[in-house]
Amino acid sequence: MVGAARPISLEAAQKSGQFIALGDLRGIAVDLRYASANNFVGRDVYSPMDCAWLHRSAARALDQAQRSVVQALPGHQIVVFDALRPHRVQIALWQALQGTGLELYLADPAIGSIHSYGFAVDVGVLTPEGRELDMGTGFDAMQDESHPEFEAQMLAEGRLSQQHLTNRQVLRQAMLGAGFSGIATEWWHFDFGNKARIRAEEVRVD
């Protein structure tokens, strides 16, 4: 589906009615890391964009996931680390990872990230005290302990605890129950809907 993307500007996306600002969703916290220096690049790569957006269908599903998290863990809330990621930012992040051996943690801009369509979201959970629920690694920790595919092995080797896995399971069950799917390499990343269809039919924000 390379080349099928229909690019639009962030301004056009925000005015289109297709996307929702997540700050408007009650109960969802936003800590947009790429709009701060607290990310692997070490600087704000989102400016002037400063709030998290998602396609409205994915945003509705995230709202449902939030309710599941609260049911499982009263007083807790989903925190969004990244959501709609303009394609220009995907290119900047890709360039920052080139040659590091960590490219597996990012979609090649030539194919495009589902984040750039507003159908992918990076999330964690906040405790009632506002601290991040301990998942064993932080958001964007590019290491084996972050891979859902290795969780059983990491537990056996003592590199993750049962509590880490239980915490991840609360988030994962809430997200999957709302229609998201996870990936093998990042506990925090979830896609909503069929990736091939999204790349073929939805608008990409540049």
The answer to whether 122 contacts Zn ion (rule: CB under 5 A) is: yes
149: annotated active-site residue: no
Looking at 132, 157, 186, 202, which residue is catalytic? Answer: 186
SS3 string of 128-149?
A: CCCCECCCCCCCCCCCHHHCHH
Give the C-alpha distances (Å, rounded to integers) separating 191 from 99, 114, 166.
26, 7, 21
Task: CB nearer to Zn ion: give 147 or 189.
Answer: 189
Task: CB nearer to Zn ion: give 189 or 204.
Answer: 189
Widest CA span in the chain: 50
Q: Using CA atoms, how far apart are residues 194 and 72, in angstroms rounded to an integer? A: 27
What track of x and - describes contact with Zn ion for positions 132 through 171 (by CB under 5 A)?
----------------------------------------
The answer to whether 189 contacts Zn ion (rule: CB under 5 A) is: yes
Number of residues that bind Zn ion (CB under 5 A): 2
Scanning 14-22, 120-128, 153-161, 194-202 for contacts with Zn ion by CB under 5 A, the matching segment is 120-128
**Residue 204 CB-half CA count within 13 A:** 25
Scanning 64-72, 87-95, 114-122, 159-167 for contacts with Zn ion by CB under 5 A, the matching segment is 114-122
Q: Report the SS3 class of residue 79.
A: strand
User: Which residues are known to be catalytic?
Assistant: 186
